Structure 1
Amino acid sequence: MNATIEKLREAYCSEGVEVPEILSNCSENHEKYDQHRQIFNRLFQFMPIAIVLCETTQQVSVVVKFTSKYALPLRVRSGGHDHEGECSGTDTILLDLSKMSKVEIDRERKIARIQPGIRFQSLTTELAKCDVMIPHGTCATVCIAGYTMGGGWGPWTRKHGMCCESVIGATLVLGDGSIRELSMNSEDAGDRELLWAIKGGGGFSYGIVTEFVIETFDLPDEMIKFQIEWNKYHYVPENKLFALRDATPTLNVLQAWEKVIASTKPDANRLVGTNLKIAAKHAGEGEHFNPHTVSHNCVMYGYWEGDENSLQKFIDIHFRHTGTYTGPSIEKAGRKYKDLPYGDHLMNDWDRYSFHNMNLLKQGLEGTPFPPDLDKPAPHKITSRLVNAEGLGKDGHYKLLESLTSPLVLPGNKDLGLFTYITLGAITGNYYQHVITKEQKDRSAFPYKDKLFTIQYQTWWNETNKEKEEGENNHVYTRVNQALDWMEVCRDYDIPNTSGAFISFKDSSVPTKTYFDKSYNQLVEIKRTYVKDPYNHFRSRKTII
């Protein structure tokens, strides 16, 4: 047995704490180790010394004290969706919280106690059974911990804010292994400061959260998840390429979407959250760019509070003038639909392109609205920025579309399962504009409450099992570097009325302070004063200090 693992087992025994399951590369159950070492971004392939599958706060505490005593690097993972792979590492002790997946719902007090390892597909279904919900994310396989500590953007943001705004308590293991029960009503200033920090100040920096206490809201009678699409793809066999069916100017779609999310009129408020995805496209070197006529594939996703008739009326009013579109495709949930599990019907990733659908198009078939491969792990790269409260403006619109029209995006990428695009996620809405006060806005560390929306540049590849089996013998690798070059160009693109970056869309090349903006200095002070981590063991590339 590995000497480090033997010492860890001894540490548990000496403290009278039950020894959790511990996996290593030389353990008998190597296949289980190999499964648990994988993270969502398959670009990273780490080999931890040990993977500790904790089930209690006390077991977490022992690991923290152990790694500190023996000066061993520590990483923490709940769902494993850190885009830069900072939830794991080679030659580290990986604290895996996936077995800590309980949720307790108190309908009278309107709170839920949620452990960090429960995935949204399960969590939202359990909440909906009790006719309540929290501001969850868009990806079914994401867990609550990193999502919430990064802010927690999702399909309820326009109505209920980022998820971090609903956190009122937490259980936190500090750098010396001590356990703190945090509450926003605590008389202890350190408790209040630590709670403020984990509400949007990023994960891991301030300790390890083993339970969140989150306020719930009443689930509406009827919720509709919908999507509408402009400039759909079709496959041209003679060219062996995908092309756009229509030529609706992307500018029309972008401007209409931005106008809707900036509104707090009654019909716009029923759009409780929304995302607009725009695909990048190839442009020849020196090719003239016209922002008024350029067209890209665009897909709008949304959560609608109401019935199909009211949704259709909303779409007709706000988007009919944009040009030809298809949809809406819909899924339903809510109090009226007890037989439809919320997590199965309203929880799919909004952000991805589907290689499954592209293959259907090549066969002359229509793609499905919510295909099965959207939540699958795959190699990828992400970067981001945010749009200021006044909106992109004319020049901002032009430059954003110009960044999406590039010689670095090669024809035929989609045929190989290489996808380059942006997603725009609405932040502004009734909640941040009218529901909470300035004082309430200051109760969380998330710094970008006044931004209009996020811009997330994305590149994904090798999403299918066949591609994974091909490994390096895959033609996609003749193109990936240029797609990643496109990402780097876009990261630094001069787009007026944009600034900052969103930590949940992590890019290690973005300075840490950029992610936390006006909250950064206070977060540094909280880390130094209250976390009891003098050697900064709670660190990865984008943690505080």
Structure 2
Amino acid sequence: MGNVKLTGRIVVPGDHDYEEAREEFNTRYSLYPCVIVFCQNTEDVVNAVKWAKQKNIPFRVRTGRHSYEAYSSLDGGLVIDISEMNAVRVTEDKRLISVQAGALLLPLYTELYDQGVTIPGGTCPSVGLAGLTLGAGWGMLTRKYGMLCDRLLALEMVTADGKIIFATDEWNSDLFWACRGGGGGNFGIVTKFLFQAVRVDQVAIYKIVWPWSGFKKVVDAFQRFAPCTDKRLTGILDIYTKEIGELKSLGEFLGSKDELRKLLTPLLQAYPPKEVEIQEVPYIDAVRIFGGLMPGMKEYDIGHGDPDAHPFKNTGAFAKTFLPSKGIKILKYFLEHSPSIENKVQLQALGGSARKKKPNQTAYVHRDALFSLLYITKWQESREAKKNVKWVEKMRDTLLPFADGAYVNFHDNCICNWLEQAYGSNLHRLQEVKTKYDPHDEFTFPLGIPPY
């Protein structure tokens, strides 16, 4: 192999930018890598993989730093960060999008919107494209266009032996199958994606807020409406703590606001809302609103510290049937007895085009789910961590009779049978792919797919 050198922007302890470079989105974790290399191109990634192998140094792969358990970093090892590899190209006919895998969502959406297209990705502005796509990728266009991985046509990857390979339905098709829902960091480092583009312009969006007194009726109405309505509409339901005393639904519709208002009748009639807002906006404004930003608000510099970084513990599950009355009562009980006012549960509507493919057509196995549940806890002081983590895990465990499985992008190290929960019947095939492309498990982390 020869003496391989790291190339790219290299940051080590003692450098003025090391503290910023090592920070994770989940500030519950504070990790100290011995080297962080910000790759500028695919050759930098190749050199990083070969260097780590030559030095026998463990490494992790990082894009947007949003791993819920901070598995994109480690103490005393090498972090291979691809977030500065973010070039985008849209074909002249607006049908295809070629993008380097390090792109972060808000800058990517902004650049694509300027060319009249988008991809059906996630909502958080600083999430990395690579992890989102490889874990399947849910967002506000999912019910119309499917999971983000369903729009993926090809990818470029650096393997464990430092080779550059390509994967499509025809070329390395087993790897391509695995990369559509098998999760990031398992098989190699993806450096480039090719997506089928989605044309966008105006969209209609809504916000409905109900008082706490409507809890049962609103949750039941949403779960029966959102996965089954017109697939041009994708919605979420945020259920806050009793202390806040609200439930709020947000959604995005590929049509007019008048048509959207008619579609929303089941929600509007479920319980008298205290606030209703339905409007048509440019697609990029919807992106910013669902990302927690306001239209016209000056963007924060995602590349220089994320102001939204905070300590948290999130987990999740999938509901394949409607929650019965008992399940809704359990949700209500936990939100009545939350140790933090900031905790919440989010229901994310699936169905529609997310169900078009069979569970074994891609590695993303949860095709028959009606909606996913994201259980969210966050706190201010470190002393509050233990009780909040216990709260969120107990809620997930108590609701397991009604919602189970695990979404690969919601890493949770408290789930003892994580691999089975995340991959279900696809696990055996994923391990075969892992054994073929990374037989010595060089791409490894605590919840990673092991080879045979």
Where does residue 238 of structure 2 map in the other structure?
A: 277
Q: Which of the residues 398, 404, 418 maps onto 1:512?
A: 418
Is 2:229 aligned against 1:229? no
Where does residue 373 of structure 2 map in the other structure?
A: 455
Which amino acid in structure 1 is aligned with residue 4 of structure 2? Answer: A
Deviations 1:151-199 (A, max 9, x none): 101111111111011111100111100110112122xxxx101111111
Shift of 1:404: 2.8
Mapped partners of 1:94, 1:114: distance in 2: 22
Unpaired stretches in structure 1, ≥5 consecutive residues: 1-7, 14-18, 232-246, 283-294, 335-341, 355-366, 463-475
Where does residue 21 of structure 1 map in the other structure?
A: 9
Q: State how 1:405-484 maps to structure 2 within 5 Å.
A: 405-406=336-337, 409-410=338-339, 413-414=340-341, 419-429=342-352, 431-433=353-355, 436=356, 438=358, 442-462=360-380, 476-477=381-382, 479-484=384-389
Mapped partners of 1:372, 1:259: distance in 2: 36
Q: Rg bigger for which structure?
A: 1
Mapped partners of 1:536, 1:39: distance in 2: 24
Where does residue 202 of structure 1 map in the other structure?
A: 183
Q: Given the two structures, how large is their TM-score scaled by the length of structure 1?
A: 0.76
Deviations 1:418-469 (A, max 9, x none): x11111111112x145xx354xx6431101011011111111123xxxxxxx
Mapped partners of 2:267, 2:218: distance in 1: 10
Shift of 1:306: 2.3
Mapped partners of 1:437, 1:421: distance in 2: 31
Q: Which of the residues 166, 170, 173 maps onto 2:155?
A: 170
Where does residue 257 of structure 1 map in the other structure?
A: 222
Shift of 1:258: 1.1
Where does residue 472 of structure 1 map in the other structure?
A: none
Shift of 1:314: 3.1
Is 2:70 aligned against 1:70? no
Unpaired stretches in structure 2, ≥5 consecutive residues: 301-305
Q: State how 1:376-391 maps to structure 2 within 5 Å.
A: 376-388=308-320, 390-391=321-322
Where does residue 302 of structure 1 map in the other structure?
A: 251
Q: Given the two structures, how large is their TM-score scaled by the length of structure 2?
A: 0.90
Which amino acid in structure 2 is aligned with residue 205 of structure 1? Answer: N
Deviations 1:377-410 (A, max 9, x none): 111101111101x32233333333333332xx24
Query: Cα gap change, 1:442/1:477 in structure 2, threshold over 3 Å: closer, same or farther?
Result: closer
Q: Which of the residues 245, 260, 277 maps onto 1:328?
A: 277
Mapped partners of 1:348, 1:23: distance in 2: 34
Query: Cα gap change, 1:89/1:495 in structure 2, threshold over 3 Å: closer, same or farther?
Result: closer
Runs ≥4 in structure 1, deviation > 4 angstroms? 370-375
Which amino acid in structure 2 is aligned with residue 269 of structure 1? Answer: K
Where does residue 291 of structure 1 map in the other structure?
A: none
SS of the aligned residue for 2:79 comes to strand
Where does residue 303 of structure 2 map in the other structure?
A: none
Where does residue 108 of structure 1 map in the other structure?
A: 93
Query: Cα gap change, 1:70/1:12 in structure 2, threshold over 3 Å: closer, same or farther?
Result: closer
Mapped partners of 1:225, 1:137: distance in 2: 16
Q: Which of the residues 2, 5, 12 maps onto 1:12?
A: 5
SS of the aligned residue for 1:175 comes to coil
Mapped partners of 1:90, 1:523: distance in 2: 28
Where does residue 292 of structure 1 map in the other structure?
A: none
Where does residue 143 of structure 2 map in the other structure?
A: 158
Mapped partners of 1:121, 1:379: distance in 2: 22
The question of whether the paired residues in 1 share the 8 Å contact of 2:35 and 2:77 is answered with yes
Shift of 1:318: 3.3
SS of the aligned residue for 1:311 comes to helix
Higher mean alpha-carbon deviation, 108-117 vs 207-216, is at 108-117
Mapped partners of 1:437, 1:515: distance in 2: 17
SS of the aligned residue for 1:425 comes to strand
In the alignment of these two chains, the number of paired residues is: 442
Mapped partners of 1:41, 1:349: distance in 2: 20
Q: Which of the residues 172, 194, 199 maps onto 1:218?
A: 199
Shift of 1:254: 0.8
Higher mean alpha-carbon deviation, 44-53 vs 127-136, is at 127-136
SS of the aligned residue for 1:75 comes to strand
